[in-house]
Amino acid sequence: MKITALTTYLVAPRWCFLRIDTDEGITGWGEPVIEGRAHTVAAAVGELADYLIGKDPMSIEAHWQVLTKGGFYRGGPILSSAVAGIDQALWDITGKALGVPVWQLLGGAVRDRIRVYSWIGGDRPDDVAQAALERKQQGFTAIKMNGSAELELIDTPRATTAIVDRVAAVREATGDDFDIAVDFHGRLSVAMARRVLPLLEPYLPFFVEEPLVPEVSDRIGEITRATSIPIATGERLFSRWDFHAVIDQGIAVVQPDLSHAGGISEVRRIAALAESRDVAIAPHCPLGPIALAACLQVGFATPNLLIQEQSLGIHYNTGSDLLDYLVDPTVFAYRDGYVDLLNAPGLGIEIDEKAVARAAELGHRWRNPIWYRKDGSFAEW
């Protein structure tokens, strides 16, 4: 079997899908994207295609090594995301060719279902208590919310208490049998993190995500030592080498993104690295159905999986949502906050190619917001 073509599709709301065709008629799908840089990642896939055309798609590891190391200039989010989508599609082809789901190729399932969480509140969180209660009534047992909008490097007591009051309101609305993850998107400085996180401790967050920007990952240990709250990070780290900088600093959860961090192959290795240091994995995935399917395939075969992010109803999915590009959306039917084992070959989903083609005719140019502080200086989004 040989690879004959790689085709990318930019589809709403902000995704990039990849189809890899073979001369035996087996097709694989991947999701190579950086949110806000989808066109750039698609261009990188096009450049990598020069190497892949005519190759055996089942030589996954050999291709991963060449695609990540064969160029003199290596690494970074664009290349890692392009490789991630290709890697997903190659695993999809291999599973379909052998008639088994990817989790079987990774050593078999270690669980029958995976716990998932839902998003509430948006970028500038509002009405979070009612939204969290609605998610609980829908059967979810955990949510994630942004902790704040933009912040000053050291913000006011009012801004600090607003964060705490928001989390407190969710805890009061949902009770103690419900988990609350709080995402800061790197909006906290080290000083603000040390101020805010101890005040959140009485509400027992499930974890606090990305309190610091990745550029200061070497200081994350100061944060883990300042609070009893489990700290999660890693959506903007792209390889096992990147995770070496944080994994021994007391973090509780790594969050590699299977559409950013080298795909199934590399995230599987990151998970093993984390397991060796008693750290859980909760893959980042506010993306589309292919990325989620890839996450679940890894999760079913990974002992230290904590929970899986999924994007159904997330505030970014305006106009198109997680299930819109699937022939059978029931594969992601959540029951009691869990998704069942995916048993179909490959990634376990069937992409609606006509829906993808229609969406790609319109495409998208999604860009993340640019935020500013009160004095006009740049603020983290």
Q: At what angle do helices 60-69 and 38-52 cross, to 10 degrees?
A: 120
State whether the Cα torsion 194-195-199-203 is positive or negative: negative
Q: Is 185 a catalytic residue?
A: yes
Q: Which residue in 67, 122, 111 sits closest to 89, CA to CA?
A: 67
DSSP state of 372: E
> Which letter, b or e, does each residue of 138-152 get, where b requires 16 or more Cβ atoms within 10 Å of its Cβ?
eebbbbbbbbbbbbe
- The letter for the amino acid at 37 is R
Q: Which residue in 148, 142, 146, 147 sits closest to 118, CA to CA?
A: 142
Tell me the DSSP string of 321-332.
-TTTTBS-GGGG
CB 231 within 8 A of CB 211: yes
Tell me the DSSP string of 258-306.
TTTSSHHHHHHHHHHHHHTTT-EE--B--S-HHHHHHHHHHHHT-TTB-
Strand residue runs (E) in the chain: 3-11, 15-22, 28-30, 113-120, 142-146, 179-183, 207-209, 231-233, 253-254, 280-281, 308-309, 334-335, 338-340, 371-372, 378-379
How many whole angstroms separate alpha carbon 80 and alpha carbon 71? 12
Q: Which uninterrupted H or E stretch holds 357?
A: helix 353-362
Q: Is 364 a catalytic residue?
A: no
Neighbours of 172 (CB within 10 A): 12
Residue tagged active-site, from 63, 185, 260, 364: 185
Residue tagged active-site, from 63, 260, 284, 364: 284
How many whole angstroms separate alpha carbon 38 and alpha carbon 273? 29
Catalytic residues: 185, 284
